[in-house]
Structure 1
Amino acid sequence: MEPIPITELKGKAGYELPPLMFYIERGLVNKFAAAVGDLNSRWETEAPPSLIPALGFDQVYEILASAETVAVLHGATDVEFIKPVNIGDTIVMKAVISSARERRTENGITVFVNFNISYINQEAGVVANCRQTALVTRHD
């Protein structure tokens, strides 16, 4: 995915990022569950719900970090979980920039970028919807 310069983010409302696809395999689920300290036996057949909004956001951040001088911070996440994700599912993440608000200061610029994200399984069923905010900052 091509980075978006910070000065262009404000005009990107409605921009659809290329879809990302993830295969939910046991190793991924085990690593995630261990990392968050949740070793529930339920995760032997399905993914912890908190794994879903973590999928792909690192790649979204790469789009926002358009230069070495740009920092990207996670601002907020609001998730609606609709159905479980099982090991063996393929999940497609579809993200749209819903809005971007720019704030200029004497030290630089910060853009508050809001995303609407849908996570869809191989049966075309939505498993989760998410709203995430990223703060994109450049100090001059």
Structure 2
Amino acid sequence: MNAQEFFAAKLAFQTDVSDVHATESTFTLVDTRDLASWRQAHIPQAIHLPRRMIPMRAAKLLDKATPVVVHCWGPGCDGATKAAHELARLGYDVKEMIGGIEYWIREGFPVLTEDGLVTRQADPLTAPLAAVPARSV
């Protein structure tokens, strides 16, 4: 495999939070974290399907004709990779959202919490400075 093939394959199976946020509903977003994590905060359009429940619930929640994007906590978590592997094994067209909900939040995108919809200021280390509101000095 050469570099071009490697990066083409990577793009075929991964996407990032900015692309997910910018894309119209052409896929089903799946949060693979546990229930406590889901309740703490989740992406509004996501459905909850913990990785361990995929064999029992995927067919009821997902349409094989619609691509699936999975995520978990963040770059230090391989739960989304394991979920993507399981869904691919079951015949779903699946990508992994790299960065997970951590980078979704860090880029300033909204999440649902027990307090309702919450949008935090973007982290200037992960989002363009133009996306971060200027501070008064």
- Shorter-chain TM-score category? under 0.3
Higher RCO structure (Cα 8 Å, ≥6 apart): 1
Structure with greater helix share of residues: 2
Structure with greater strand share of residues: 1
**TM-score, length basis structure 1:** 0.22
**TM-score, length basis structure 2:** 0.23
